[in-house]
Amino acid sequence: MHDGGEPPEPPERKLVLVVDDFDDAREMYAEYLEFVGFQVEVARNGVEAVEKAQGALPDIILMDLSLPVMDGWEATRRLKQDQRTRDIPVVALSGHVLAGNADQARQAGADEFVAKPCLPQDLEDRIRRMLKPSKSKSRP
């Protein structure tokens, strides 16, 4: 059934880049997001995340902050300094909820901060809200 060429994707399927060094978490989020209709790319560390983001230009990035090789803080900074990727929203995920982590994540350029563990449904809601075109004209 699959001839090697990619079938044309319907334009409404958004691409999410899931970055997490913990296999179970990455696979759980990736499988759930694919199940609810997103396309998903995955990366295991900050270097891979930056490379994948520059290559695939995802619609949104879920970035775990504690990553090997290059951490999520540095990867986010690099993405936000790169013209190709700076407009892609980044959701910083951290299991270390310390006072100031959300602020630090925003200073690094993250658009949202989510404490782990979080339910895939909650992440999906957050992603959908962030990807909605703003309807500023229709609201007073």
Strands 90-94 and 60-64: parallel
pTM exceeds 0.85 for this model? no
Long-range contacts of 97-105 (CB under 8 A, 24+ apart): 101/65, 104/73, 105/65, 105/73, 105/76
pLDDT tens digits for 28-70? 999 999 999 999 999 999 999 999 999 999 999 999 999 999 9
The number of residues making up the chain comes to: 140
The C-alpha angle 123, 125, 129, rounded to 5 degrees, equals 115
